Each structure stands twice: as C-alpha cells, then as structure tokens.
Amino acid sequence: MTEDNRKLFTFEFIALNGVIAVAFCNIAVFYSFFHYLGGIGIPPAMRGLLTGLEPMTAFVLRIFVIPLIGVKDTLRLILVSLMMVIAVSIAYPFALTVSSLVALRILHGAGFVLLTSALIALIVMFIPREKSGQGFGVISVATMIPYALVPPVTELILPYVRNESSIYAGFSLFALLAIVLMVRMRGRIENALGDMDAALTRRPALCDIRKNMANRPVVLLLVTTLLAFFGHATVFYFMKDLAVQKNLGDVGLFFTLAMGTMILVRAFGGPAFDLIDKTFTLISGFLILTFCFFMFPHIEGGLFFYGLAGLYGLGMGVILPQINALIFAFSDPHLRGLNTNLGLFVMDLAYFITPAVGGAMVSGTKGYALPFDAAAVLALVCLGLAAVLWIMGRRKQKQHTGFPDSP
C-alpha cells in the first residue's frame, strides 16, 4: 500500500496513541511530587534535585538511546519499558529515604525515555506523509490530555488514600492495561511492519545519521523546536511568579485557558494543518507568540491577561504539530522516527536549561519580565527561521528537485 492511499486513523495508530497517553499519565501524576517530598520529611535542599532527577535522566539518556532504536526493536522495548514503569510506580510508597528516591527517579526517567522513544519510532510508521499535520496533531493531544485530566482527578482521589504515593502506585494499572493492549495487537503491528519496505524499518546506520545532520531543513527545524520550547518552558516555570509580582490574575485559570485552547486547536484543526502551507502557518504562529511574550510583562491583568492565555494557546497549538509535521516531511522515510525523537531531545534540553538561565535573569532589576522579553526575541528568531524555510521551499519547488510539496 502506498503512502498516498493509506488511512491515518488505523487501529494501530489509535492504539499507540492510547499507549502514549498512558506514558504521559505516568508523568503528569507527579505534578505534586515536590509537595509530597515535604510531606514525607525529605529536606528542602533535596526536594528540587529529586523532582528534577527524572526529567534530567530522560534528557541525558535520550540522545544515546535514539540512534540505537530500530523500528523492529520497538515492540520488545515498549513492553520492557512498561514493565519498568509498573515496577517503579509500585515502589514509590516504599521509597522514603533520599538514596532510595534517587535510585527510583533515575529508573523512572530511564523507563520513560525508553518507552516514549520506542513509541515515537513506531507510531511515525503509521502516519501517511500527506496527513502528517493531522497525525502529529493527534499525537500532541494524546500527550496533553493527561496534564489536563490527571491533576484534578488526583485531587479528587487524594482525601481517600494515605498520600500521593498511593496514587503513583495506582497509576501502574494503566501501564498494565497498555501491556495487555500491546500483546494483543503485536501480531497486527508485526504484519503491518512486514508489509513495509525493509529499508524503512532498519536501524539507522552512522552514515545515515551524518547525512541527516547535513539536511538543512531538518537542522533548522530542530533549532526552531529548541527555541520554541525555551519560550514554552519560560511560561511553564515563570508565569506564576510574574502573575504574582504584577497581580495579573489567577494563573491556574490562565493555564486552563491556554491548555484548553491548545487541545481544541490540535483536536479540531488537524485536517486544516495539511491543507494550509505549513511554513506559512509557522510564520503566523510565531507572530502570535512574539506578541504574547512581549505583552505578558507589560499588561495590567484582568480580561486582557486571560485573553492572552487563549491567544498563546492558539499560537502554541498551531506551531508544535506543524514543526513535527515539517520534520517528518523533510526527513528520509527511514529517519522519521530518529528525527521526531531528536525533537523530543531538544524539548528536554529546553526544559533542562530554562530554569537555570531564567533564574539568573530574574535576579536583575527587570525581575520576571526579562525571561519573557527574551522569549519574545527567540520567537522572533523562530519566525525568521520559518521564513527561511518558506523561501527554501519556494526555490526548490521552482527547480523541481523533489522538495516536499506544500510542506
């Protein structure tokens, strides 16, 4: 079956998105982990380290894991990493010392990075090229819904259990269900992969990776991803402090509006992502984000603050699926999983670096305004990179050299 007549919403694609949602549920449930550590008597100086140890492990390991994953390895790796997630989740109620929690957080990060890297490498094989925008929109919804649903559900359950660790352990049930699903659909996936060209499912060789790093559009898009997530991480880490400092309003409502808009855009705007020129929508999205980042420190709060939340959600809702879709379109078919995982790596890098860089910025006279001013500049740089991609695309199309049509 050729890519032109493949369906997007196959059983395999839907089921794998369900497993992706399970993976991110297992991360979203730890939104209150810093608070939980205080409740079990962990010293304040160690709480930040233990909270950040899981994402730091994921960041460090991902760059080593990505080149080693071939599509044919993914099924086995998904099952093994889901078992790791179950074991780690069940162990949280029994880990009450710093040393045991250090070991647990490192194992947790390792399990998460193995699971998500294998899932991404596998699921991109079920996305038709002409529906890449819609496909990555669906994947991004699967990663976001846990962050919207898990915290309020956890708060409802919390009064009826000993503490948060009981809920961490309880969420292992979802991973168990994911294992059952993967075992039942293993034959279907193996048959589907068997029908694909062997060149698409082999592990990338070193020469492929070197050639890939010379692919200018892919490199530009990875840089754009990194800069975009610097901005997104700035909002995630510093919006509450900015809102308190300037009395802008309820930051919880801000994030609800922003997240809700992102989910709606990606859930219902999917088909449009593939009908409109992707580089043009990137330019539009970064124009919106530049305005939002610039305005955040300079508004007085009230309705304008909440209106900017919706506008910010619109901008982020558009650009992230489109960046992933463009990386997919510009990649050699057998390197699509590798490059999509590199996008996750630069996302990890942004979330790892932003607190340190932003923390240094806020010590100056401009306080929490400076990180947002910097995010506005970076969004403007991203807009320029998107414009470069648009120009490159137009030139290549005129030369008829096979550059992806209407990326």
DSSP class per residue in 127-165: S-GGGHHHHHHHHHHHHHHHHHHHHHHHHHHGGGSSSHH
Is pLDDT at 202 greater than 60 in this prediction? Answer: no
**DSSP classification of residue 404:** P
Residue 378 pLDDT greater than 50, yes or no: yes
Taking the C-alpha atoms of residue 239 and residue 375, their distance in angstroms, rounded to an integer, is 12
Residue range 46-76, pLDDT digits in tens: 887 888 788 888 888 888 887 778 777 888 9
- DSSP character for 395? H
> Residue 205's pLDDT is what?
63
Residue with tokens 């993914």: 74
Chain position carrying tokens 């962050």: 147
Instruction: Summarize pLDDT for 18-40 with one digit per residue, the tens.
Output: 999 999 998 888 877 878 888 99
Model confidence pLDDT, tens digit, residues 333-361:
777 777 888 888 888 888 878 877 887 88
Q: Closest by alpha carbon to 35, among 157, 160, 158, 175? A: 158
- Domain positions in the chain are 3-203, 211-399
Enter the pTM of the model.
0.77
pLDDT band at 82 (very low <50, low <70, confident <90, very high): very high
- Chain segment 285-297, per-residue pLDDT in tens: 999 999 999 999 9
Q: Please, are residues 379 and 228 in contact by the beta-carbon 8 Å criterion?
A: yes
Average pLDDT of 6-25? Answer: 89
Instruction: Give CA–CA dist 249/162, Å, rounded.
Output: 33
The DSSP result for 84-125, as a single string, is HHHHHHHHGGG--SHHHHHHHHHHHHHHHHHHHHHHHHHHGG
**CATH superfamily of the domain spanning 3-203:** MFS general substrate transporter like domains (1.20.1250.20)
Joined together, the tokens standing for residue 334 give 């057998």
Phi and psi based region of residue 363 (left: phi greater than 0; alpha: psi -120 to 50; beta: remaining): alpha
Pairwise pLDDT comparison (396 vs 159), residue with the higher score: 159
C-alpha count within 13 angstroms, C-beta hemisphere, residue 266:
30
CA dihedral 253, 257, 263, 265 (to 10 degrees): 180
211-399 matches 3-203 in CATH topology? yes
- Is 405's pLDDT higher than 50? no
Cα(268)–Cα(266) distance, integer angstroms: 6
Q: Was domain 211-399 assigned CATH 1.10.3720.10?
A: no
Higher pLDDT, 247 or 207: 247
pLDDT at 127: 85
Q: Are 114 and 80 in contact (CB under 8 A)?
A: yes
How many Å apart are CA 92 and CA 311, to the nearest integer? 39
Residue 404 has pLDDT above 70, yes or no: no
Q: With 80 as the cut, is the pLDDT of residue 2 above it?
A: no
pLDDT in tens, 302-339: 889 999 999 999 999 999 888 988 888 888 777 777 78
How confident is the model over 172-187, as pLDDT tens digits? Answer: 999 999 999 999 888 8
| Spatial separation of the C-alpha atoms in residues 8 and 136, rounded to whole Å | 11
- Report pLDDT for 300: 81
Q: How many residues does the chain have?
A: 407
Proportion of the chain above pLDDT 90, given as a percent: 32
Mean pLDDT of the chain: 84
Confidence (pLDDT) at 365: 63
